[in-house]
Amino acid sequence: MLFSSLSFLLYFLPPVVLIHLFLPKWLQNPFLFFASLFFYAWGDARFVPLFFGLLLMDWGCGLILEKAEKQSVRKLVLALGVLANMGSLFLFKYMGFFASLIRMNVTIGQSLPLGISFFTFQATGYLVDVYRKQTKCERNLFAFGTFLFMFPQLIAGPIVRYSDLSHALHEKRRPAHKALETGMALFIGGLAAKVLLANPLGAFAEEMRGLMERDTVCAWLYMLCYSLQIYFDFLGYSVMAVGMGRMLGFSFPRNFNHPYAAASVTDFWRRWHITLSGWFRDYVYIPLGGNRRGTARTILNMLTVWSLTGFWHGASWEFILWGLWYFVMLVLDKYLLERLKAPGFLRRLTMYFSVGIGWMMFSANGAEHILPMLQSLVTIRSEGHALFWLREMAPVLCAAVLCCVPVLANGAKKLVKRFTWLRFAVMLALLLLSLAALTKSSYNPFLYFRF
């Protein structure tokens, strides 16, 4: 059940929010937990027992980690908990990949449970935080289940930490009028980003992909359309998740901060998928030593993190190469351009080049397609298709590019916040346009569901 589907928008979300709003405190977590189970089962009921088993295991491990006094016992419990979470991720997501390397015929990894990458990272982070005594364990099973299973962020994030939600899980959640209004505005804004920008950009990208080998300009248009599509697709989902969290009385972390306005490759990854970058920083990069052990060790730690980041996105070579590509470009940015005090325009140009090439690699659907796709950018060909499609895409492309500019986007937000009538009119118009687009279009994928 996609957030941008009519079944979710009309039949699931409104009754869940309304019922949750008026329930007594002791029923809110159980209700939200079972509503989230229903949401997940609607999309992939086969794996509910797996997730429920992991939930019970993580809950039990958290209790033991807090009560155990011997450090050896705590280390063993942490190791077993992390192994169970990551083992499940490996079994379903990576077993097929490694089996193919040794020419084994394994099919178990071909069916990927929805959201398992986000679920296991969130659960593992919880266990590590309890082990480090940075947070107390959750003793109430329904509260813990609500933390891990909450439907707004279960399938594709943002990756939420228990400490972000622990207070709200144990208080009466009756959001104030302002919080409800803000939540609905965020949800509608995210829905519009997904339906009115990402979906048409994705349709255009598919057209350009079919023409890119015959027309160089179409290859560049494909890179532009896909870069914008994946941004507004994932941004829209994340903003909808944050908005639904507000409507339910929770504060989810921000996942994007105008990444295409970044001043460098390094800055881009401080702004893109912020919760994933933060997870790898806190649970992989810093424990490995971060940048505290000299240049060589820092570069090795960066290599480890970016290899894992690429592999997290998918069990295939194009994602591994994508991660290694960013490792190279980040090392170049950090140890050459930054130290040489390269002018700002050069670092920004390097960022756009790195990101554009990276998205071409990311979308290749097989490592063997990466080189032909990149060659299409520099091999001069023309069949006259580009001008027609550029005219067709111009309104959506212009709107998308303008929405990437922080000054314009923030200015529009301030304007609609200042005038109540204008805010209401804009939200109503975006909602009606989004619903109209959904009823007449069959193209409504979500890119990050496959990760």
Is the CB of residue 184 less than 8 Å from the CB of residue 9? no
Fill in the DSSP letter of residue 137.
P
Cα–Cα distance, 342 to 364 (Å, whole number): 32
User: Helix %, strand %, coil % for the chain, to 5?
Assistant: 75, 0, 25
Q: Encode burial over 22-57: b for 16+ CB neighbours within 10 A, e otherwise.
A: ebeeeebbbebbebbbebbeeebeebeeebeebbeb
Which contiguous run of DSSP H or E holds residue 296? Answer: helix 295-313
CA atoms within 13 A on the CB side of 310: 24
Active site residues: 313
CA dihedral 2, 96, 277, 200 (to 10 degrees): -40
Tokens 């829209």 sit on residue: 236
CA 251: distance to chain centroid?
17
Instruction: Report the candidate in 448, 362, 443, 447 with the shortest Cα–Cα distance to residue 199.
Output: 443
Q: Work out the number of other CB atoms within 10 angstroms of the CB of residue 291.
A: 14
Cα–Cα distance, 242 to 236 (Å, whole number): 10
Fill in the DSSP letter of residue 253.
P
